[in-house]
Structure 1
Amino acid sequence: MQFYLATSFIFPRSLRLRLFTLCFIATHMPLLGYLAWGLATGRIALAEFVLLTLATIVGTGIALFGIGALLNPIHALADALHQGRGDAPLLPEVGDVIQTLYAGVQRARDRMDDLHQAAHEDPLTGIANRRGFLSALDALPAERRRGCVAIIDIDYFKRVNDLSGHEEGDRVLAAFATRLSALVRRVDLVARWGGEEFAIFFQDCIEDEASWTLARIAARMRSDPIGETHGRPISFSAGICRWNGEPLEQTLRRADEALYDAKQAGRDRICRAAPIFQEA
């Protein structure tokens, strides 16, 4: 299709003439090469030149006959459809049909990309949603499936909606997503887990590093709050769990349990998942 578009300047309204031009040039390339060699060396033979010219003309005729035979069914179908529709306008040229089909394929591809993005991106915050988060982690190669997973919950978020309205709640969610994305590394993945919960995958990161990063974000939330409830800066609680490539569901469950511990301990804090003790 790229070649078709690149040659569209040659008889743009007639695919048949475009094919003729390309075939004529292609079949006469040996003749042109021989002519250039003969002029450069002075050893051109008239009889050989005439014979080669006749051969290329015959080859061009055969190619054009085959092309016409291939295009005839398309034109016959167009004529039949036109006759069956009375005064309906003629169908477009074959070249136009091809270009239209290509444009349709491009639109369909763009539409598929849009649908994929909509399925994996949270429309409010612009970051990945739960499906996008899980898909991204599932697509990681085995050697990169390690680090820490954090589940984060905005403290007392219901009060924001109740006291200030849902528009303010949406603003807080978007601002919090922006804050998280800005204060983690580019290799880390931030997602809206659902409601006022968020998730972060800290790639190739130990628990101490992940905890320090979240503590830095928490301090920023106090010094530069994204909003307030009852005169206090909006804060968050978080649960962290180490992930070494084991089933992700287990890691997420343990991170969620650590988040529960943080909320039970008074919120505005970060807790780590309890270690798993294996029996001897």
Structure 2
Amino acid sequence: MQFYLATSFIFPRSLRLRLFALCFFATHLPLIGYLLWGVSTGRVALAEFALLTLATMVGTAVALIGIGALLNPIHALADALHADDAPPSTLPEVGDVIRTLYSGVHRAAHETRNRIDGLHQAAHEDPLTGVLNRRGFLAELSALPVNRRKGCIAVLDIDYFKRVNDLNGHEEGDRVLAAFAARVAALMRRADLIARWGGEEFAIFFQDCIEDEASWSLARVATRMREDPIGAIHGRPISFSAGVCRWTGGPIDEALARADEALYEAKQAGRDRICRAKPLLLQA
């Protein structure tokens, strides 16, 4: 396409004449070189020159016939794009048809890429909250370089969420979930990964964080939830409980299980608190 546009100064309204000029020059280039060499050396052989001229003319004619045959389908397509009664002056040039085809292919590729991106987003993003879903969370962790797979894993659970649905309906429950995800995302770093793990549970990966830093970040969210509640149950601000576990790049399932155990301890201890996973006992 770029070569076509670059040669538009040669017979801009006729692709056939443009092709003829290019073929004529290309096939006669050796003959021109021979003529220049003969003039400079005084060794021009008229018989050989005439034979070469005839051969290049025949070659040009054969090339043009072949090119014309290749262009016939494009001309047929140009005719099909317009009504049968359209005057010849309104028919597009072959270059216009090529540009139309190029534009259509480019547009189709762009739309296909957008559809693929949309499907990927739908497969990895929770539609209600806009954060990652379980699959997207695990995929993002798997895509990290090995040296960046370290930090803390936290599992969060909204306290008494079932009562929100029972007392105020599922629409209010959906609003609370979306508001909680937005609150957490607003108070986390850009490097941290947040996902809706399922139901009212969420998971967070604090990259390059120790447990003290992760716990402090979650405590800041809890304080914000009390000062500016996203909702209330029996007059008390909606809170959350969390379990935090250090992750050093080993199996992620193990870290998630230990964080979930710490979350259970937080629930058993009265909710609205953050517990750390117990250290692993080293076997002798």
- Classify the TM-score, shorter chain: 0.7 to 0.9
Find 1:123's aligned residue among 120, 124, 127.
127
Contact 1:15 1:94 in 2 (8 A): no
Moved more, 95-104 or 118-127: 95-104
Match of 2:176 in 1: 172
Displacement, 1:166? 1.2
Query: What is the percentage of aligned positions where both structures have the same residue?
Result: 64
What SS does structure 1 have at the residue aligned with 2:278?
coil
Runs ≥4 in structure 1, deviation > 6 angstroms?
57-63
What SS does structure 2 have at the residue aligned with 1:193?
strand
Point out where structure 2 has 5 or more consecutive residues left out of the alignment. Answer: 30-38, 41-52
Moved more, 96-105 or 202-211: 96-105
State the distance in 2 between where 1:18 and 1:259 align: 76
Match of 1:218 in 2: 222
2:202 aligned with 1:202: no
Any idea what the Cα deviations from partners look like across 1:169-222, whole Å, max 9, x if unmatched?
111111111110111111111111111111110000000100011011111111
Mapping of residues 22-101 of structure 1, within 5 Å: 24=22, 67-72=67-72, 93=97, 95-101=99-105
Contact 2:74 2:97 in 1 (8 A): no
State the distance in 2 between where 1:276 and 1:19 align: 82
State the distance in 2 between where 1:192 and 1:185 align: 17
State the distance in 1 between where 2:13 and 2:184 align: 55
What SS does structure 1 have at the residue aligned with 2:264?
helix
Point out where structure 1 has 5 or more consecutive residues left out of the alignment. Answer: 32-46, 49-53
Q: Aligned in 2, Cα 1:15/1:202: closer, same or farther, shift over 3 Å?
A: farther
Letter in 2 for 1:250: E
Find 1:17's aligned residue among 11, 15, 28.
15
Q: Aligned in 2, Cα 1:139/1:75: closer, same or farther, shift over 3 Å?
A: same
Find 2:240's aligned residue among 233, 236, 243.
236
2:231 aligned with 1:227: yes
TM-score, normalization by structure 1? 0.74
State the distance in 1 between where 2:17 and 2:129 align: 52
2:146 aligned with 1:142: yes
Contact 1:257 1:273 in 2 (8 A): yes
Match of 1:265 in 2: 269
State the distance in 2 between where 1:272 and 1:231 align: 29
Contact 2:232 2:238 in 1 (8 A): yes
